[in-house]
A and B are shown apart, each in its own frame.
Chain A
Amino acid sequence: MNKTQNNKAWFLVLPVFLLVAFSAIIPLMTVVNYSVQDIFDQNSAYFVGVEWYREVLQDPRLQDSLMRQFMYSGSVLAIEIPLGIAVALMMPTRGAMASLSLIVLAIPLLIPWNVVGTIWQIFARADIGLLGYVINGMGIDYNYANNPIDAWMTVVLMDVWHWTSLIALLCYSGLRAIPDAYYQAAKIDRASNWAIFKYIQLPKLKGVLIIGILLRFMDSFMIYTEPFVLTGGGPGNSTTFLSQTLTKMAIGQFDIGPAAAFSIIYFLIVLLVSWLFFTTISQLDKDKSKEMSHES
């Protein structure tokens, strides 16, 4: 292949390169820089190699919060995705009720994270909160401040309340994009409602669900504000998730080195899981196109 050599062309790439460098690469490199050094003050820094990484990975506190984080993201996704689809399926398709339900669904999405935390902090209190009071009134002992299971459930419930709307709205738009002819054809083919869902609606929702799952995974995996406001990570460490552990380490204890090492690992986990998820889905499509080029 004959490539035209034109070194001036590099100048055209330069602005983008600078922008990315200042916005992403340089800040990230400072974190990398901290993660491989032990710094006491401005004049005494020692290169420690992968020491901090080793320490961080062996730290039981971090291992625990990593496990909790996976469980949290897992349960949040397991509830929000099916629930969001169900809500979208039940929403009215036209008329005033359709607009009304769209507005109602959009409200939780517009509330700032710390306000959501505060709302639930009060709403779920056993003494004065409506939810906590009612649950206790039914004879169930519930107190998110003392009981780790209660605290855990409250945090998950809060996230479901806050973010199911996103999935529902995405799916709603996906459902509206299905032409009527599909439903009519299914009627003529005598498809049951379940078959219509499985063979028409779900396949057509694939695109929006990929976006929805990716967004919800990344967001829930990085959750900080809401549990911090609601439970402060307690009781004990039962609702202390990764970002909170990290903050404690970096700002509370000023362990800059391990915190930096952990930031890098944290970042890589999010990147890896998202990448795995994305390639799995796009691989499915690729297989089909391979099949096609093979036959034609």
Chain B
Amino acid sequence: MAEIRLKNLAHSYATDPEHTTDYAIHEMNHVWEQGGAYALLGPSGCGKSTLLNIISGLVIPSHGSVTFDGVEVNDISTQDRNIAQVFQFPVIYDSMTVYDNLAFPLRNMKVLESEIDAKVREVADILELSDILQRKANNLSADQKQKISMGRGLVRDDVSAILFDEPLTVIDPNLKWKLRRKLKQIHERYNITMVYVTHDQLEASTFADKIALMYEGKIVQFGTPRELFENPNHTFVGYFIGSPGMNLLKMTLSEQGAELGGITFGLNAEQRALLQGAKNAELTLGIRPEFVQLSAQQNEESLPCTIQHTEDLGTYKIVTVMLGDHSIKIRLDEEQQIPTQDAYLNFPNQWVKFYADDYLINSTEGEATSE
């Protein structure tokens, strides 16, 4: 059980890093609270696995420190950190039975055989492995193997956190949700800090209470799935979360409002005040496809657009329209009619976000939030 704190942590695989591009992890401060279920979400190569390996001690950070409950663990080896880690591909000891696999960490710690037996059976019960305890582990299916690798972390009483490195990659889609629910259950039962690395937003939001979204070696936003969806504080968060991602339109500020490549979007006083503070930066207007309104009737604030094409996904439709030079995606319900001739867009004010140099211009402070 532990609170994991990253202090001024940065990491470079280069021995002598000079440029910021040499860093896999840019300097960050972050806290994973005891007992939380967290997801570390980001595209491939953003540094999320590196960060995970730094926590478990498989990678030693080049800068800054990692503390568990206030104790610095930089110099403590993986073996002694009381961390369990589940890897992308299930790691099992082929030559052993399922039982021996689960007992392995305890035997390495010289725990009494009677205690081992009790613990192994308890964990096997939770993971639904009781029926196959005496079978050789190497002929099992991928999901069972992955449960074994998880189980090896759970049998240990001293484990302070379990780290998951994209553990469901090799699992059949129809079994994924089952294992994910199992993870949730385990989390509730053992109250262990869990950090789950994934590039799948659905996996992240179903597993985690809070998601840390990583981009180019930085955690760009840390919040609940809903916060990430409704209030992305970086254009990348907007783009990455949601399906399809946020519409991001390059804009400039003028007397009339926001210039979106030939089209002017009228600003209200509040928005204008917000943008005044950041007029020298590169500005972007962002709006989620879910919040764009499409209609055949023109009104004062609507913007004329031309419909490009419609994708019907069964439960909803994605309409692509051209607004000036910008292509905009709109997510509509199945039953909603798509205008055949003239089409007009409305951007409801509360869902329009403005970004200065990719960071959200925060409405309360009136300035760009920097990390």
Give the B-binding residues of A (Cβ under 8 A).
179, 181-182, 184-185, 187-192, 195, 199-200, 202-204, 288-289, 291-292, 295
Number of B residues contacting the other chain (C-beta, 8 Å)?
Answer: 28
- Whole-angstrom distance between the alpha carbons of A292 and B108 in the complex? 29
Q: Which residues of B contact A200 (CB under 8 A)?
A: 93
The one of B56, B105, B135, B149 that contacts A295, using a Cβ cutoff of 8 Å: B135
CB distance from B137 to the nearest CB of A (A): 10
The one of A179, A192, A203, A288 that contacts B108, using a Cβ cutoff of 8 Å: A192
CB distance from B152 to the nearest CB of A (A): 6
Kindly name the residue among B78, B91, B138, B152 whose own CB sees the greatest number of chain A CB atoms within 10 A: B91
> B76 on the interface (CB 8 Å rule)?
no
Describe A's contact surface by its main secondary structure. helix
- Whole-angstrom distance between the alpha carbons of A189 and B156 in the complex? 9
Describe B's contact surface by its main secondary structure. mixed
In the complex, given contacts A181-B87, A188-B79, A190-B108, what are 10 additional A-B residue pairs having Cβ atoms less than 8 angstroms apart?
Answer: A182-B91, A184-B78, A185-B85, A187-B77, A190-B109, A195-B104, A199-B93, A288-B138, A291-B135, A295-B135
Known: A181-B87, A184-B85. A190 touches B79 (CB 8 A): yes
A292 near B139 (CB under 8 angstroms)? yes
Known: A182-B91, A199-B96, A203-B95. A188 touches B83 (CB 8 A): yes
A189 near B108 (CB under 8 angstroms)? yes
> Which residues of B in the span 74-91 have a Cβ within 8 Å of any Cβ on A?
77-79, 83-85, 87-89, 91
A288 near B136 (CB under 8 angstroms)? yes
Kindly name the residue among A185, A195, A291 whose own CB sees the greatest number of chain B CB atoms within 10 A: A185
Q: Which residues of A contact B301 (CB under 8 A)?
A: none
- Whole-angstrom distance between the alpha carbons of A203 and B152 in the complex? 19
CB distance from A72 to the nearest CB of B (A): 31
Tally A-B pairs: CB < 8 A. Answer: 63
Q: Which residues of A contact B91 (CB under 8 A)?
A: 181-182, 184-185
The one of A188, A202, A289, A291 that contacts B84, using a Cβ cutoff of 8 Å: A188
- Whole-angstrom distance between the alpha carbons of A289 and B149 in the complex? 22
B87 near A185 (CB under 8 angstroms)? yes
CB distance from B153 to the nearest CB of A (A): 8
CB distance from B74 to the nearest CB of A (A): 16
B79 near A187 (CB under 8 angstroms)? yes
The residue of chain A having its C-beta at the shortest distance from the C-beta of B57 within the complex is A187
> B338 on the interface (CB 8 Å rule)?
no
The one of A182, A189, A204, A288 that contacts B105, using a Cβ cutoff of 8 Å: A189
7 contacts between A and B (CB under 8 A): A181-B88, A188-B84, A189-B104, A190-B109, A199-B93, A288-B136, A288-B138
- Whole-angstrom distance between the alpha carbons of A191 and B132 in the complex? 24
Q: Which residues of B contact A204 (CB under 8 A)?
A: 94
Known: A292-B139, A295-B135. A187 touches B87 (CB 8 A): no
Per-residue contact bits, chain B 204-218, to A (CB 8 Å; 1 contact, 0 not):
000000000000000
- Whole-angstrom distance between the alpha carbons of A236 and B138 in the complex? 53
The one of B78, B93, B109 that contacts A188, using a Cβ cutoff of 8 Å: B78
Known: A179-B89, A188-B85. A195 touches B108 (CB 8 A): yes
- Whole-angstrom distance between the alpha carbons of A202 and B94 in the complex? 10
A295 near B132 (CB under 8 angstroms)? yes
- Whole-angstrom distance between the alpha carbons of A291 and B140 in the complex? 11
- Whole-angstrom distance between the alpha carbons of A181 and B138 in the complex? 16
B78 near A199 (CB under 8 angstroms)? no
> B281 on the interface (CB 8 Å rule)?
no
> B58 on the interface (CB 8 Å rule)?
yes
Known: A190-B105, A190-B108. A288 touches B139 (CB 8 A): yes
- Whole-angstrom distance between the alpha carbons of A195 and B108 in the complex? 9
Q: Which residues of B contact A189 (CB under 8 A)?
A: 104-105, 108, 152
Q: Which residues of A contact B132 (CB under 8 A)?
A: 295
- Whole-angstrom distance between the alpha carbons of A241 and B367 in the complex? 90
B94 near A203 (CB under 8 angstroms)? yes
